[in-house]
Structure 1
Amino acid sequence: MSILCYNCRGLGNDPAVVRLRGLLRGETTDVVVLLETKLSSQEIQGVIKRLGGVYDGVGVDSVGRSAGVAILWREGVEVDVISSTAHHIDEAIRGVFNVDEWRLTGVYGWSRHEDKWKTWRLMKDIKSLSSLPWVMIGDFNQILFEHEKKGGAPREQALMDEFREAVDECELLDVGFSDVPTITLHHLEFDKSDHMPIKLAMFSPIKSFKGKRFRFEDMWVTSEGCEEVVRESWVHSGALGSGQDALYKLGACSRKLSEWSKIQFGDLRKQIEETRKRMHFLDSCPPLPETVNERKGVC
């Protein structure tokens, strides 16, 4: 089972459709997620017909000539739409892996800085609609970590933190940076674009992952005791003799660091949420000296 995801940046002209047709001709894929189509749902059906009858599919209306999502699938794949907006399509899929159903969501996130919170809210709202095993793929117009991009101005840390919180709350794993043996993800060199298509290949039925993924916090590095926790957990978790031992040691380190952090700093997620609520409250207050000073202190 394979999924191809492509930000086509508009499909409203012949060259764009020809490029898409060329991409799909060179890749055997079961499902195609198209982002930023800039078309109406009716226009998407016209594009699907021009692909030669290989795919069926559904699209949602763009907002003017921005956003817009479409999902296409080959014969034999059965699809029911669960929900959709101009920024997403959420579907239940059958006909692969000999499992009853699983879930695929294609997302095109809001690009404007002041609107990015809408993407996090959309992700959480989508999660609440179904408990099926879930794959979410798309262009979120946001990164989880600074090292995920090359060049340009640094991304705002608060936005990366909020995106990671949304991913955690949705109980999702970043496949590009996770050890999932039955899944591969790679970028396709195509059209010399900085919006390279990605192809996700899955070799077994999708399973639900429970629990929050471990994240190393930058502030731990400068905190007294962190290095000792890492050293102790690594040394006392067995001899390093194989890849399996290494994974075991990494797991031991993550558990010990999580326990140490909770003792050292308390519930960081709760503290962040309380601080954010306090910030919202202060923003709504008149600019009196005491509220202005408190806001500076919170920042």
Structure 2
Amino acid sequence: MLLCQEGTMAKYEYHHLGRTWVCWTDNVVVTWLQMSAHVVTCAIQIPSTGEQFICSAVYTFNTVAEGTQVWEEFQGTRAAYSNLSLPWIIIGDFNKTLGSSEHSRAQDYRFDQMCMRHFQEAITDCLVTDFPY
């Protein structure tokens, strides 16, 4: 982990480009919970409002095996921090879709049904909801 400046963190020990950067302002308290090649998870507190939540920032590779690792990591995160009773937001680039209709080439994207099913199962198992844009 390399601290670039106050309020900014990147994970260079997992990838030479850092891959996932997390930045915040001084009026937010960020507590690092866990980090991997694909996910940075932290607890966020906004002292002025008392709000708290867990945030996982995601950037996955395109391979099936690495996608499966991310889903397993989500399940571990849910198990590890569910005792905190905090809302959990997961943001980022999954390089996967929950359904072929979400892909720009939906007609050609049917080959990846197993990846979509694993992604759907992880979302269900972790008790999170997709908010489509």
Q: Which has the larger radius of gyration?
A: 1
Q: Distance in 1 between matches of 2:14 and 2:45?
A: 30
Q: TM-score, normalised by structure 2?
A: 0.82
Say whether residues 1:157 and 2:113 are aligned partners.
Answer: yes
Q: Which stretches in structure 1 are left out of the alignment for 5+ residues?
A: 1-40, 50-54, 177-184, 186-299
Q: Distance in 1 between matches of 2:58 and 2:93?
A: 6
Residue in 1 that maps onto 2:39: 88
Report which stretch shifted further, 116-125 or 55-64: 55-64
**Could you tell me which of 94, 105, 118 is aligned with 1:140?**
94
Q: Which stretches in structure 2 are left out of the alignment for 5+ residues?
A: none
**Could you tell me which of 113, 125, 128 is aligned with 1:169?**
125
Residues 175 and 169 (structure 1), Cα distance of their counterparts in 2 relative to 1, 3 Å cut: same
2:10·2:18 contact (CA, 8 Å) conserved in 1?
A: no
Higher relative contact order by CA 8 Å / sep ≥ 6: 1 or 2?
Answer: 2
Say whether residues 1:129 and 2:69 are aligned partners.
Answer: no
Q: TM-score, normalised by structure 1?
A: 0.39
C-alpha RMSD of the superposition: 2.3
**Could you tell me which of 68, 71, 76 is aligned with 2:22?**
71
Could you tell me how far 1:127 is from its partner in structure 2? 1.2
- Greater helix content: 1
Q: Distance in 2 between matches of 1:124 and 1:93?
A: 20
Residues 166 and 97 (structure 1), Cα distance of their counterparts in 2 relative to 1, 3 Å cut: farther
Residue in 2 that maps onto 1:282: none
Q: Distance in 1 between matches of 2:48 and 2:67?
A: 35
Could you tell me how far 1:128 is from its partner in structure 2? 1.4
